[in-house]
């Protein structure tokens, strides 16, 4: 179960989910790994020729991801400060996962991101600029409270610091087009302004994530499995109070949690298929 949760976090974004925004950004690695938590919406108009090769488009996974995007939109828009959850998350990793294993996950994730075809990154950057953030102004946008602080804390973690600086530089360069397409307000990254955009974000992020080559994907899954096995269900439960403080116990938050549970098995099965 720990592996499943980690994979869902990575593909939805935990993640690793990958909606990079790295200017100020400290280190690109931390942004890529935090992206699923920090991002909220995207849209992916894909030509039929591309859809034929997709593990996401035209599948039940796409439908469930869109549903999660719709359910999460009002919840994410209501977040005022994600900082408390960031603190608890990093404390949890430091306490429950061996440093070498945590570092392995981050390094394999960076390797996987670097291996994603440049064309896929360019497509994603175009969607962000032309669709997701079209008309969104940094001076008036709704921002994800605490997003920059969250990224900074991840950057300062030992696991992220274990990534060679040369890879950090390569990652910043590779994702610069996507990073520059995401506007930043005074309190954090801007959120796309519609439910429809949020529905498509998770599809876009998964599409980008699953374009990772099999070798790098399999290495990342293996590293996540090793690290995830060290966190028991009871220990993960200690994060619940911090999560509830950020996301609340509202009816909307409950719907988001249900949508997450619905998409989880499809993310896992798709990840397994992608790395075989």
pLDDT digits (tens, 9 = 90+) for 186-206: 877 888 878 888 887 788 888
Alpha-helical (H) ranges within 78-232 are 83-96, 99-115, 118-127, 147-155, 158-161, 165-174, 176-179, 195-209, 214-228
Domain parsing of the chain, residue ranges? 2-274
pLDDT confidence of residue 34: 33
Q: What is the mean pLDDT of residues 258-268?
A: 87
**Burial (CB count within 10 angstroms: exposed 0-12, middle 13-18, buried 19+), residue 246:** buried
pLDDT for residue 215: 92
Q: What angle do CA 222, 97, 26 make, to 5 degrees?
A: 85
Percentage of the chain modeled with pLDDT above 70? 74
Q: Residue 233's pLDDT is what?
A: 67
Confidence band for 142, pLDDT divided at 50, 70 and 90: confident
Question: Is the pLDDT at 217 greater than 80, yes or no?
Answer: yes
pLDDT at 6 over 50: no
């Amino acid at each position: 179960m720990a592996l499943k949760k980690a994979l869902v976090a990575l593909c939805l974004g935990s993640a690793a989910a990958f909606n990079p925004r790295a200017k100020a950004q400290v280190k690109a690695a931390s942004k890529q790994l935090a992206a699923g938590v920090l991002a909220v919406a995207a849209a992916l108009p894909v030509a039929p020729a591309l859809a034929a090769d997709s593990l996401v488009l035209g599948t039940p996974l796409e439908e469930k991801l869109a549903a999660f995007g719709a359910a999460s939109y009002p919840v994410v828009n209501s977040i005022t400060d994600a900082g408390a959850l960031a603190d608890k998350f990093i404390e949890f990793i430091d306490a429950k996962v061996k440093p070498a294993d945590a570092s392995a996950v981050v390094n394999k994730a960076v390797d996987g991101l670097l291996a994603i075809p440049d064309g896929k990154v360019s497509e994603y950057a175009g969607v962000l600029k032309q669709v997701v953030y079209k008309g969104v102004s940094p001076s008036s946008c709704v921002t994800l409270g605490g997003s920059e602080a969250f990224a900074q804390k991840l950057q300062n973690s030992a696991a992220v610091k274990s990534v060679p600086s040369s890879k950090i530089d390569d990652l910043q360069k590779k994702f610069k087009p996507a990073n520059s397409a995401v506007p930043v307000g005074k309190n954090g990254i801007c959120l796309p302004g519609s439910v429809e955009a949020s529905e498509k974000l998770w599809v876009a992020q998964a599409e980008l994530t699953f374009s990772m080559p099999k070798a790098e994907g399999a290495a990342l899954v293996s590293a996540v499995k090793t690290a995830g096995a060290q966190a028991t269900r009871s220990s993960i439960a200690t994060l619940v109070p911090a999560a509830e403080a950020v996301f609340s116990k509202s009816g909307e938050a409950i719907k988001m949690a249900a949508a997450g549970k619905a998409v989880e098995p499809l993310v896992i099965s798709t990840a397994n298929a992608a790395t075989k």
